[in-house]
């Protein structure tokens, strides 16, 4: 593709004539540059791509895009104000703006993105529609699954995968990091979902208002006839509705008032849920327990209805939905205790998980959880408070250290709560609890979900589920 065509939609300063330069590929990694490629220099958090421009030139790059005011390069240099945004627009142009040709569903919010996306995929596929999925647990394109590195892939990889997809629908979890780093810039959405907002990522965003503003920016990328699906059971959803109303967007509301498009009549985990689409009621029996999963299912239901699927088919699919790896994944202890592995990592998410066990009549609730190093420390106290309020026993343990020294992270756990058990080795914390529980007890292991451990623990296991299964098999 001609370089001048690639650059049509970006504001730029150009150091040379570019009309006749052919670009055969794009990369942000100088080690993967081939002759006639375009190298985009991204100023990262640990590494600055501008420092690798010479390496890219040696590898045969035909042109360079970057933010710094550079002169004297042997190839055209295109200076932009934001390399990440420029990359997204260039990638979109290079791959032919694939989102125009697909039905794209974007899901944002603090909690529930993954479960809602898996539910929607299951509903659509049960109705004979093919789906690609991009999210925290995995990416799936044309029926082929691959591990996920980020909740939202980088802009170049995302546009490439969208162009490769032959699926009718694309379902995408959209994180606040993905939005603020322009990973989805240029993607046009047919449906945008807002699940909720809770205290999270305030190590990255200045405050909740900024966090909300970034999440809300997704809806600016709706297609002209695009639809917004919003959860009003969360106060930030109501604030989003006010914001979108001022912009004239078409909205569909999950809420508790009769005029809302969908409302939930019962929020009990142990009985059928009644959901009302206007005045028509539907009984729903989910395999996944918890109020939060009722909300996730209702968001999926409302979206599928707006896509045009019949209500009875959606209910059938939801009642058959097998669940998501690491999302309220239930295992049965040989002695009758119930173990739940969940990704919950905010106070609100923990509240819904633990309260559900109380509603189910748990004898005792044991809660094993930790915190990731170099992440939002302000939310930790709220999580501990919720755990102590609902659980009988809270055990603080290590999550990912993320380069924080081991001793520093352990000290932080002790400082959070002088009364809580602290067992730094995550596998030994699980072992201790599983040796003490009885029939009727519930054990929650939260924070990691299906993710692999990043550091070595004493037991030869790589995830929470693997640790539980290893301990079962050892007895």
Q: For 447-460, how does the pLDDT look when each residue is reduced to its tens digit (9 = 90+)?
A: 999 899 999 999 99
Domain 3-93 and domain 98-320, same fold? Reply is: no
CATH fold of 329-474 reads 3.90.190
**Per-residue pLDDT for 341 more than 70?**
yes
Contact 350, 359 (CB under 8 A): no
Q: pLDDT at residue 360 above 50?
A: yes
Q: For residue 290, what pLDDT is reported?
A: 81
Topology at the third CATH level for domain 3-93:
3.40.1390
pLDDT score of 19: 66
Residue 32 pLDDT level (bands cut at 50, 70, 90): very high
pLDDT of residue 15: 60
Q: Model's pTM, two decimal places?
A: 0.86
Query: How many whole angstroms separate alpha carbon 411 and alpha carbon 417?
Result: 11
Positive/negative CA dihedral, 142, 148, 152, 156? negative
Residues 6+ apart with CB under 8 A from 209: none
User: Could you tell me the residue ranges of all domains in the chain?
Assistant: 3-93, 98-320, 329-474
| Euclidean distance between CA atoms 1 and 7, whole angstroms | 11
Question: What tens digit of pLDDT does each residue of 231-241 get?
Answer: 999 989 999 99
Q: Across residues 279-288, what is the average pLDDT?
A: 85
Write down the pLDDT at residue 209. 85
Q: What is the pLDDT at residue 201? A: 47
CA angle 336, 341, 345 (to 5 degrees): 140
281 CB-near residues (< 8 Å, 6+ apart): 265, 274, 275
Band the pLDDT of 283: cuts 50, 70, 90.
Answer: confident
Is residue 20 over pLDDT 80?
A: no
**What is the C-alpha separation between 317 and 121, in angstroms, rounded?**
10
pLDDT in tens, 55-100: 999 999 999 999 999 988 989 999 999 999 999 999 999 999 999 9
Q: How confident is the model at residue 151 (pLDDT cuts 50, 70, 90)?
A: confident
Give pLDDT, residue 458. Answer: 95
Three-class SS state of 393: strand
pLDDT at 153 over 90: no
Ordered DSSP codes for 199-242: S--TTTSSSHHHHHHHHHGGGGGEEEEEEEEEETTSHHHHHHHH
Run of H or E including 183: none
Query: Which class in CATH covers the domain with range 98-320?
Result: alpha beta
Closest CA relative to residue 68, chosen from 46, 106, 40: 40
* pLDDT tens-digit series, residues 185-222: 999 999 999 999 886 545 554 678 888 989 999 999 99
pLDDT, the chain, mean: 90
The reported pLDDT for the residue numbered 259 is: 85
* Helix extents (H) in 142-207: 155-164, 176-180
The rounded percent of the chain whose pLDDT value lies above 70 is: 95
The pLDDT tens digits for 240-279 are: 999 898 888 889 999 988 888 998 887 665 556 777 787 7
């Amino acid at each position: 593709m001609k370089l001048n065509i690639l650059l049509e939609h970006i504001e730029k300063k150009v150091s040379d004539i570019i009309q006749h330069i052919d670009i055969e590929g794009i990369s942000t990694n100088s080690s993967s540059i081939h002759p006639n490629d375009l190298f985009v220099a991204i100023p990262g958090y640990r590494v600055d791509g501008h420092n690798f421009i010479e390496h890219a030139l040696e590898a045969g790059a035909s042109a360079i895009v970057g933010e710094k005011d550079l002169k004297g390069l042997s190839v055209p240099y295109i200076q932009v104000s934001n390399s990440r945004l420029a990359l997204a627009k260039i990638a979109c142009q290079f791959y032919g703006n694939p989102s125009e040709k697909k039905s794209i569903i974007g899901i944002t919010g603090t909690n529930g993105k993954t479960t809602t996306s898996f539910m929607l995929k299951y509903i659509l596929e049960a109705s004979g529609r093919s789906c690609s999925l991009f999210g925290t647990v995995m990416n799936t394109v044309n029926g082929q699954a691959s591990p996920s590195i980020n909740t939202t892939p980088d802009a170049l990889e995302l546009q490439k995968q969208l162009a490769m997809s032959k699926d009718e629908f694309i379902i995408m979890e959209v994180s606040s990091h993905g939005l603020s780093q322009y990973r989805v810039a240029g993607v046009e959405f047919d449906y945008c979902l807002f699940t909720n907002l809770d205290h999270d990522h305030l190590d990255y965003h200045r405050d909740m208002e900024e966090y909300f503003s970034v999440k809300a920016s997704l809806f600016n990328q709706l297609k002209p006839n695009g639809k917004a699906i919003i959860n009003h059971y969360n106060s930030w959803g109501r604030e989003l509705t006010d914001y979108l109303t001022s912009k004239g967007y078409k909205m569909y509301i999950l809420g508790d008032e009769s005029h809302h498009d969908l409302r939930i009549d019962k929020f009990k985990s142990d009985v059928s849920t009644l959901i009302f689409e206007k005045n028509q009621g539907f009984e729903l029996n989910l395999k996944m327990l918890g109020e939060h999963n009722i909300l996730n299912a209702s968001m999926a239901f409302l979206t599928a209805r707006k896509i045009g699927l019949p209500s009875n088919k959606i209910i059938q699919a939801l009642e058959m939905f097998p669940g998501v790896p690491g999302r309220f994944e239930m295992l049965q202890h040989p002695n009758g205790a119930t173990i739940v592995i969940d990704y919950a990592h905010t106070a609100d998410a923990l509240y819904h998980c633990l309260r559900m066990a109380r509603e189910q009549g748990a004898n005792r609730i044991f809660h094993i959880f930790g915190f990731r190093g170099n992440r939002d420390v302000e939310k930790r106290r709220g999580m501990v408070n919720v755990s102590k309020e609902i659980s009988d026993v809270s055990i603080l343990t290590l999550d990912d250290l993320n380069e924080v020294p081991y001793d520093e992270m352990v000290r932080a756990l002790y400082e959070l709560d002088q009364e809580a058990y602290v067992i730094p080795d995550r596998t030994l914390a699980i072992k201790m609890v599983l040796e003490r529980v009885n029939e009727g007890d519930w054990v929650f292991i939260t924070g990691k979900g299906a993710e692999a451990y990043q550091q070595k623990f004493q037991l030869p296991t790589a995830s929470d589920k693997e640790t539980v299964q290893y301990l079962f098999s050892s007895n």
